[in-house]
């Protein structure tokens, strides 16, 4: 992932990070990467371990990608458990996000640095988080009622330098899930962060963020954008509409989900690389 983000930073676009939890979603994301000729990040969070194991994610990615021309990273999204970070690396993930954002600063820093030592020795990149996002409706990544804590530019450069992380998730007003009010994205905080940091910055909570704000965030130095909720909402809505007409075989439903996810992710990739 580090090489992908370095290119994005140089050429001023953002790489899309899309959450997966099934064969259909993995195939949809990889197909969208192949269709657009752009790198993609296949992101799997520990909360979806009930759906599939780390090893299954890696096996499906490798099997599906073998028949496609696509550059991809297999990334562990929002992982609070150090055990799970190391399990994912062992299973073949090429990138991990250790999320110590709810911990006191020094503990977040120490844990992130420990992950970096192991991950880098194995050629795996590391994303860390400083500050935290509020939870919107149907959030998949945060607990209900989680509060917004903006990333402090004064803390960020020391955190990155001391932890050695390759990318930093920043909190500038996006929420995990659907916005419940008007989005208020603090581009001034992003500008302050960019002044202090050369490291690629990651925007979580891409769903529902207005197009012009996404463009301003990319212009302001965001090089990776995470989207989950809206892809699922979009595909589920289209599936519901199609099922109102007939009740097809599950094999047909599986194919439709792949198509819906491919179309939705293709749109985001195009938007992020304009």
Give the Cα separation of 192 and 60 in Å (integer): 40
The DSSP bridge partners found for residue 83 are none
Q: Is 188 a catalytic residue?
A: no
Give me the least distance between CB of 203 and ligand 13P, in Å please: 8
Our CB check for ligand 13P shows the closer of 130 and 227 to be: 227
Residues 79-118 as x/- pattern, contact with ligand 13P by CB under 6 A: ----------------------------------------
User: Which of 24, 46, 77, 127 touches ligand 13P by CB under 6 A?
Assistant: 77
Rounded to whole angstroms, how far apart are CA atoms 72 and 26? Answer: 11
Q: Which of 240, 241, 239, 206 is nearest to 222 (CA)?
A: 206
Q: Which of 33, 173, 206, 220 binds ligand 13P (CB under 6 A)?
A: 206
Decide if 170 contacts 151 (C-beta within 8 A). Answer: yes
d(CA 91, CA 117): 18
Whether 77 and 45 have beta carbons less than 8 Å apart is answered as yes
With tokens 């990319």, the residue in question is 218
By CB under 6 A, is residue 78 in contact with ligand 13P?
yes
Q: Which of 1, 176, 192, 218 binds ligand 13P (CB under 6 A)?
A: 176
How many Cα atoms occupy the beta-carbon half-sphere of 197 within 13 Å? 35
Segment contacting ligand 13P (CB under 6 A): 67-75, 214-222, 223-231, 242-250? 223-231
- Closer to ligand 13P by Cβ: residue 27 or 224: 224
CB closer to ligand 13P, 80 vs 158 = 80
- State which of residues 227, 258, 265, 269 lies at the interface with ligand 13P (CB under 6 A): 227
In whole angstroms, what is the distance from residue 96 CA to residue 79 CA? 8
* Residue 50 vs 106, nearer CB to ligand 13P: 50
- Interacting positions 2-31 with ligand 13P (CB under 6 A): 19
Instruction: Pick the closer one to ligand 13P by CB: 183 or 255.
Output: 183
Sign of the Cα torsion 17, 141, 171, 229 reads: positive
For ligand 13P, how many residues bind (rule: CB under 6 A)?
16
DSSP annotation of 68 reads: S
Interface mask toward ligand 13P for 131-160; x: CB under 6 A: ---------xx-------------------
Query: Taking a C-beta distance cutoff of 8 angstroms, is the pair 154, 196 a contact?
Result: yes
Asked if 69 and 58 touch (Cβ cutoff 8 Å), the reply is: no
Q: Considering 69, 77, 152, 166, which one is annotated as catalytic?
A: 77
Burial class (CB in 10 A: 0-12, 13-18, 19+), 143: exposed
The correct pick among 228, 262, 266, 273 for binding ligand 13P (CB under 6 A) is 228
Smallest gap from Cβ 211 to ligand 13P, in A, equals: 14
Per CB under 6 A, residues contacting ligand 13P are: 19, 77-78, 140-141, 176-177, 204-207, 226-230
Catalytic (active-site) positions: 77
């Amino acid at each position: 992932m580090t090489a992908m983000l370095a290119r994005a930073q140089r050429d001023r676009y953002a790489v899309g990070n899309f959450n997966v939890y099934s064969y259909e979603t993995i195939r949809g994301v990889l197909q969208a990467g192949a269709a657009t000729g752009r790198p993609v990040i296949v992101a799997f969070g520990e909360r979806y371990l009930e759906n599939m194991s780390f090893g299954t994610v890696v096996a499906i990615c490798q099997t599906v990608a073998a028949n496609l021309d696509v550059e991809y990273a297999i990334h562990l999204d929002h992982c609070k458990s150090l055990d799970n970070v190391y399990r994912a690396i062992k299973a073949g993930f090429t990138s991990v996000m250790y999320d110590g954002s709810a911990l006191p600063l020094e503990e977040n820093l120490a844990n992130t640095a420990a992950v970096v030592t192991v991950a880098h020795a194995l050629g795996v990149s590391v994303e860390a988080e400083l500050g935290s996002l509020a939870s919107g409706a149907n959030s998949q990544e945060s607990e209900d009622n989680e509060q917004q804590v903006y990333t402090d530019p004064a803390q960020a450069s020391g955190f990155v330098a001391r932890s050695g992380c390759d990318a930093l998730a920043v909190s500038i007003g996006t929420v995990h899930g659907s916005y419940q009010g008007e989005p208020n994205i603090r581009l001034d905080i992003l500008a302050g962060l960019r002044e202090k940091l050369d490291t690629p910055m990651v925007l979580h909570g891409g769903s529902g963020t207005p197009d012009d704000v996404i463009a301003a965030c990319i212009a302001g130095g965001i090089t990776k954008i995470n989207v989950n909720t809206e892809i699922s909402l979009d595909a589920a809505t289209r599936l519901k509409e199609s099922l109102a007409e007939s009740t097809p075989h599950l094999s047909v439903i599986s194919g439709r989900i792949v198509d819906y996810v491919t179309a939705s992710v293709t749109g985001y990739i195009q938007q992020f690389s304009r």
